[in-house]
Amino acid sequence: MSEFKKQNQSRHAMRVNPLETVHVFFASERNKAGILKDVGLGGLSCEFTDTDIKVSDTGTLDISVFGKDKPEAGKLPYRKVADRLMNEDNADASPVRQVAVAFEDLANDQRSMLNIFIRAYTDAFFLIP
């Protein structure tokens, strides 16, 4: 079983899907946006069409809704748990880099910003505690 599948199966927090285009910016690659695939209070996963991106093992990231001037949730500390190149052998699909991170030591205001973002921009049908 791949590392990425193992990590996804071991998630402890529920993940939800964005309702619109949401970008993820890692401090180590500030000028390259990833597309958010799912998010929860424990972490997120995203995809990059730039397969040469190098996401640091630890650092901070910003979550921005497409078309908004400032991040909905910013400077969130993370630890990378998976980084995988996908579709590289598929002639019918463009390769993408999929990255999954776990949030690390969120401050109360960061957890609150993340919770507000999740309720406003995802398919969460409940209030996350």
Is residue 74 a part of any domain in this protein? yes
pLDDT of residue 50: 87
pLDDT of residue 1: 42
Is residue 126 a part of any domain in this protein? no
pLDDT of residue 71: 87
pLDDT of residue 30: 80
**Residue 32 to residues 5, 73, 116, 129: CA-CA distances in angstroms?**
25, 17, 24, 32
Q: What is the pLDDT along the chain (129 residues), one digit of tens a residue?
A: 444 444 444 456 688 999 889 999 999 888 899 999 999 999 999 999 988 888 999 999 999 998 887 889 999 999 999 999 987 666 667 889 999 999 999 999 999 999 999 989 998 865 455
Is residue 22 a part of any domain in this protein? yes
Q: Which residue has the tokens 């990833």?
A: 34
pLDDT of residue 5: 47
Spell out a b/e string for 116-129, using b for 16 or more CB atoms within 10 Å of the CB, else e. ebbeebbebeeebe
pLDDT of residue 43: 96
Is residue 27 a part of any domain in this protein? yes
pLDDT of residue 10: 47
Task: Indicate the helix (H) or strand (E) that contains 118.
Answer: helix 108-121
CATH code for the domain in which residue 79 is found: 2.40.10.220
Q: How many residues does the chain have?
A: 129
pTM over 0.85: no
CB half-sphere exposure, 93, CA atoms < 13 A:
10
> For residue 7, what are the domain limits?
3-121
Is residue 127 a part of any domain in this protein? no
Is residue 129 a part of any domain in this protein? no
pLDDT of residue 95: 86
* φ/ψ of residue 62, rounded to 5: -120, 145
Counting the structural domains of the chain, the total is: 1
Is residue 79 a part of any domain in this protein? yes
